[in-house]
């Protein structure tokens, strides 16, 4: 792509002005000039004078890639003209004129380089080829049982010996929930999450929180209110309106040793950051074969129910659950929100923490004071039953419970963690009840209930006495403001689905 079709600016270096940093244009084919400007940039950075954007103007003689044909977009004469500026030839001439280089030295150095290169290639080729289980071992630590089971399925179908990971490598057994206890007074979910952040940041000085309007303002929902007063500005940081930058910065900070909480103001604003989340956040551990971990919690409000505008009422949990390397959590109570958030903040996994905004101030709940954890990946049975299993999460838990209280013995399971979800709890319930109804708030296709239904059909299909049913919204953008109710799933619809499932 020609330069003039990419930008209207005369140089790339001048773009640095917009960021308030230094920009330098240099002949990238001149070894000494490049050395000079890069050395100066490093010295400036070490003096605390900020970054430098260096535009080194170069020419690529070869093709861009194997599918590229440079003859289609440049002339032979153009390449001939640039050959006169070849950095190897120019620097060789420079050294020879100062009697610092000669044919004998070049032959000796070339032979040394070939020897070292061949030795390195030989060492690499002598290494054993990674085994199939390494793809799982490098993606997660510890490894969720769900992922280990998926690996074993691949191995079984390939006729290979099944990999049995040691307990040290596996996700620990899911501990029972702590006792509920009580705080001095019932508090909202918003206050609960604030409390969890205070507890975690007090316990661990490496935790840093960053996001849009979270310091001075306390966030649009006031979740981070009071953190700036209690902790330094270096630990509660206001960022520009740049979601990709928020998550990208968090990744860099985590690689250098911090534990980071990155807040996205609304779930519909996370899409600009999706590249950082999909391409880097969930992959860094796999990419480095476990040598780099990202203990990051990306928090955001989620879901509908408050009559909000477009991009303020989405449910992107399934998008995140499909990305390898991430843990995805959606609490439905204040008690769960605090325990799950504290567990997420102490985990070495990157966690997407979705907070149903409809619950922020909808009700108050007495929760334990101080510190406690709820195991990530553990579902909770909200209501015992024997006739039908209803699986849901997040904003759909209250209407599911309301619909279940209708003369039919419905067991309501709140997944809480969307990935990895508690397959054992769901299968055990379905084997007891013989029926499954899965409910979600967002668009139906490709949702969490689809995954639950497929898994149950495989693992407990013979226990089913009726077809599995799902309830979800239409595959259309979420309607805003006063017409939001057209898409909201309520207890009437869930109750109807329960009746249909019971009828077989």
Query: Which residue in the list 35, 138, 280, 312 is annotated as catalytic?
Result: 312
> What is the CB neighbour count within 10 angstroms for residue 499?
12
- Angle, CA of 459, 494 and 399, to the nearest 5°: 105
The beta strands (E) that lie in 197-258 are given as 207-211, 236-238
> What is the CB neighbour count within 10 angstroms for residue 249?
19
Give me the half-sphere count of Cα atoms (radius 13 Å) on the Cβ side of residue 466: 18
Give me the half-sphere count of Cα atoms (radius 13 Å) on the Cβ side of residue 148: 17
Q: Tokens for 195, please give them.
A: 């409390």
Identify whether the C-beta of residue 245 lies closer than 8 Å to the C-beta of residue 281. no
Identify whether the C-beta of residue 281 lies closer than 8 Å to the C-beta of residue 274. no
* Residue 411 backbone class (left: φ over 0; alpha: ψ -120 to 50; beta: rest): beta
Alpha carbons 287 and 213: distance in angstroms, whole number: 33
Q: Where does 180-242 have alpha helices with state H?
A: 189-203, 227-230
Identify whether the C-beta of residue 281 lies closer than 8 Å to the C-beta of residue 324. no
Alpha carbons 407 and 433: distance in angstroms, whole number: 15
Q: Where does 63-102 have alpha helices with state H?
A: 76-83, 87-97
Cis peptide before 387 (omega within 30 of 0): no
Nearest residue to 238 via CA among 227, 230, 253: 227
- Angle, CA of 223, 229 and 230, to the nearest 5°: 90
Burial class for 416, CB neighbours closer than 10 Å (0-12, 13-18, 19+): buried
Residues written for the chain: 504
Cα 377 → chain centroid: 16
Is 35 tagged catalytic? no
Identify whether the C-beta of residue 55 lies closer than 8 Å to the C-beta of residue 12. yes
Torsion, Cα of 251, 196, 416, 139 (10° steps): 30
Identify whether the C-beta of residue 364 lies closer than 8 Å to the C-beta of residue 340. no
Residues classed as catalytic? 312
């Amino acid at each position: 792509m020609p330069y003039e079709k990419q930008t209207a600016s005369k140089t790339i270096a001048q773009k640095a002005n917009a960021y308030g940093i230094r920009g330098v244009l240099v002949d990238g084919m001149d070894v000494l000039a490049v050395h000079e400007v890069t050395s100066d940039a490093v010295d400036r950075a070490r003096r605390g004078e900020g970054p430098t954007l260096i535009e080194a103007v170069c020419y690529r003689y070869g093709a861009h890639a194997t599918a590229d044909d440079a003859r289609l977009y440049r002339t032979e004469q153009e390449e001939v003209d640039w050959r006169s500026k070849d950095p190897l030839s120019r620097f060789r001439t420079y050294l020879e004129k100062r009697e610092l280089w000669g044919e004998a030295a070049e032959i000796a150095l070339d032979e040394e380089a070939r020897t070292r290169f061949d030795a390195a290639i030989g060492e690499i080729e002598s290494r054993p080829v990674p085994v199939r289980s390494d793809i799982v071992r490098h993606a997660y630590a510890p490894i969720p049982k769900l992922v280990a089971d998926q690996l074993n399925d691949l191995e079984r179908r390939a006729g290979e010996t099944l990999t049995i990971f040691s307990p040290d490598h596996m996700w620990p057994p899911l501990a029972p929930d702590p006792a509920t206890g009580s705080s001095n007074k019932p508090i909202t979910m918003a206050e609960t999450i604030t409390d969890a952040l205070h507890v975690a940041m007090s316990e661990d000085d490496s935790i840093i929180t960053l996001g849009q309007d979270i310091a001075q303002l306390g966030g649009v929902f006031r979740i981070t209110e009071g953190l700036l007063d209690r902790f330094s500005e270096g630990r509660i940081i206001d960022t520009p309106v740049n979601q990709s930058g928020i998550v990208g910065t968090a990744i860099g900070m985590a690689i250098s040793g911090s534990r980071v909480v990155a807040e996205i103001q609304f779930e519909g604003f996370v899409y600009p950051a999706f590249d950082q989340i999909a391409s880097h956040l969930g992959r860094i551990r796999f990419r480095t074969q476990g040598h780099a971990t990202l203990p990051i919690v990306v928090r955001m409000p989620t879901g509908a129910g408050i009559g909000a505008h477009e991009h303020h009422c989405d449910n992107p949990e399934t998008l995140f659950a499909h990305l390898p390397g991430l843990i995805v959590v959606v609490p439905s109570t204040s008690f769960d929100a605090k325990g799950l958030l504290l567990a997420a903040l102490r985990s070495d996994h990157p966690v997407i923490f979705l907070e149903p905004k409809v619950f922020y101030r909808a009700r108050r709940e007495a929760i334990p004071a101080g510190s406690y954890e709820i195991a990530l990946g553990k579902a909770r049975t909200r209501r015992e039953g024997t006739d039908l299993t209803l699986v849901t999460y997040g904003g759909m838990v209250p209407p599911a419970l309301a619909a279940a209280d209708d003369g039919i013995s419905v067991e309501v399971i709140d997944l809480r963690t969307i990935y990895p979800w508690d397959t054992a709890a769901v299968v055990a319930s379905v084997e007891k009840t013989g029926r499954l109804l899965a409910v979600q708030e967002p668009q139906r296709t490709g949702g969490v209930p689809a995954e639950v239904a497929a898994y149950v059909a495989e693992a407990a299909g013979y226990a089913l006495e009726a077809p599995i049913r799902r309830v979800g919204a239409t595959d259309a953008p979420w309607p805003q403001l006063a017409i939001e109710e057209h898409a909201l799933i309520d207890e009437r619809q869930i109750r109807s689905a329960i009746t249909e499932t019971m009828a077989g």
